[in-house]
Amino acid sequence: MDTRKRQLALQRAARATLPGHGLTTAVSAMPAAPAVLPNPACVPGAGRSCRHALTDVDLNAALHAYEQTVRGRFESIEDVLRTLSAWQHERDFVERAQALARQRLDFEWPLAALENAWVAGLDMAALHAHAMFETIRRCVALAAQDGAAWRARLPVQPEQLRACGVHTLDVSPCADGRLQGLLPFVLRTAPHDHVVVKAYAGALFDVELDVQDWTQRELERLTGLIEGGQALDYLKVAVYHFSSSHPQHEGCAAHGSHDARAVAAAIERLHALRAAVDNTFGDGAAPLVMLMGVDTDLDAIRIHLPDARGQVHAERFLDAATLYRETLGLDAATARRRLHEAVAAHARDLGGVLARQPGDDGLVRLAALWLQANLSQIEYVIEHHGGRYAVIGHDEFFVCVGDALPPLQLRNQYYHAHLDTVEEGTADLDVGVKIFTGLNLRRGLALPVLVHFTYSSRVPGARQRAVARGQRVLAAIRARYRHWDERGLLHGRVAVSDRHGREVVALVDEPAPAAGGHGHDSMTRGQRP
């Protein structure tokens, strides 16, 4: 049994034998969780229904269909490769291999990769990488075609953010693949030009880079490029994660699965960002901040609102799983009122919440909006994943380096390392390679690395520079992980997206390998979308 299937079986077996557990308060200190738990919000059965009045059932169904389609395409790759391995010495192997690829994967293999298999055997790592990049290409196109309807239905759209006083939402989750569905699934928030995701191992975002990003957005606000910007602000959200069923092993790897360290480190970065902006541009210039936690077993969130002085407290938060349970069975209007009352009470307990202008309750309203949206995701996990994800650890398919992939925001779809240069992202990359050493490399499968950068078509030459930067980063990754590269297991491609146009995650040609180079990506070289 392979790693992914073994993890799945072990988690299902463990969940089936352990007792339940519930939370007691929506605003509380972090509990010490038992080893494995059912969903604390609701456990269906014995005549009990987990159907909350505020759940968007139709949106849950649409998101589940999307998840099944995308995950199904990627999960088919290994099954097809196993079949090819058994067929490779058959006389009609090439024809059968191509027919299977067309039927199961929606593409054909490069002919050169199949023709001599009966002599030299198949290069499974190269086939695996080729299949991965082709599937990325097809799933991006699928998201563009079929995802528009459910993205438009997401409850947190740009207009809702603006109504809460936010012109730019800058989110830095941990690079962990379990947080890759944060926006559309966990927070039900639509992607947009003014919604930025920059993932870092341990949510340890780059304070200096964020000051630059804030400065750019502030310039746009002051020059009128952001409509209504005078009354709006920049919001930075750091997102840590934890595992309620296996806290000592499936928490944040960058913090040694120590939840308190993960929270403290994220708070330190948020406070440092506010201090950096105030110290540079004057008191009162600092952006809004918020801390969020995600239980990656359940997708239930915790929101740590900043107090009126902008201070975030580790032990004080609102818990969506508790709010789900405490409002379950109420009609929609009553449940919504109870949720807003809980958020308002928490804000009073903090002595007020950080605001751009006195009396502004934008962050309080946004917290309520996200908590309500998360109720649907809690129920999504209950209905479609048995209350707790079967694989509570890592199950990613590839590594994305550079900018995130908005069309493929899905739990455990990929590990994301946000960077401009390999030197600055060493820690994030090393964590990703360590994860894939267990998932793929030890089994002889590829480490697929997609280097992705965005550019603005409004800037002359921007696309060419984005491609060149991607190629430099990919070359540096090959050099850093030379051991895997020389064994033909590290396979990389470069992709670019136009933030103002229609080009989205477009795979581009790689330069020809240098003399003496390994050239093991030749089966993907020279193909354009």
Q: Which residue type does 251 have?
A: G
Residue 197 CA to residue 191 CA, distance in Å, equals 10
- Alpha carbon 440 to its chain's center: 20
Q: Element (H or E) spanning 409, and its range? A: none
Q: Residue 468 burial (CB < 10 Å; 0-12/13-18/19+)? A: middle
Decide if 491 contacts 480 (C-beta within 8 A). no
For CA atoms 454, 402, 60, 376, the dihedral sign is negative
Q: Which residue type does 91 have?
A: R
176 noted as active-site residue:
yes
**Tokens read off for 201:** 């191992």
Decide if 402 contacts 419 (C-beta within 8 A). yes
The pairing of strands 490-498 and 506-508 is: antiparallel
Catalytic residue among 58, 92, 170, 176: 176
What are the residue ranges of helices labelled H in 23-153? 57-87, 93-104, 117-120, 124-146, 148-153
Decide if 270 contacts 343 (C-beta within 8 A). no
Q: What single-letter DSSP state applies at residue 200?
A: B
- Alpha carbon 311 to its chain's center: 26
Q: Is 362 helix (H, G, I), strand (E, B) or coil?
A: helix
Decide if 403 contacts 453 (C-beta within 8 A). yes
Q: Element (H or E) spanning 272, and its range? A: helix 259-281
Decide if 322 contacts 23 (C-beta within 8 A). yes
**Tokens read off for 1:** 């049994």
Residue 148 CA to residue 157 CA, distance in Å, equals 13
Q: Which residues are catalytic?
A: 176
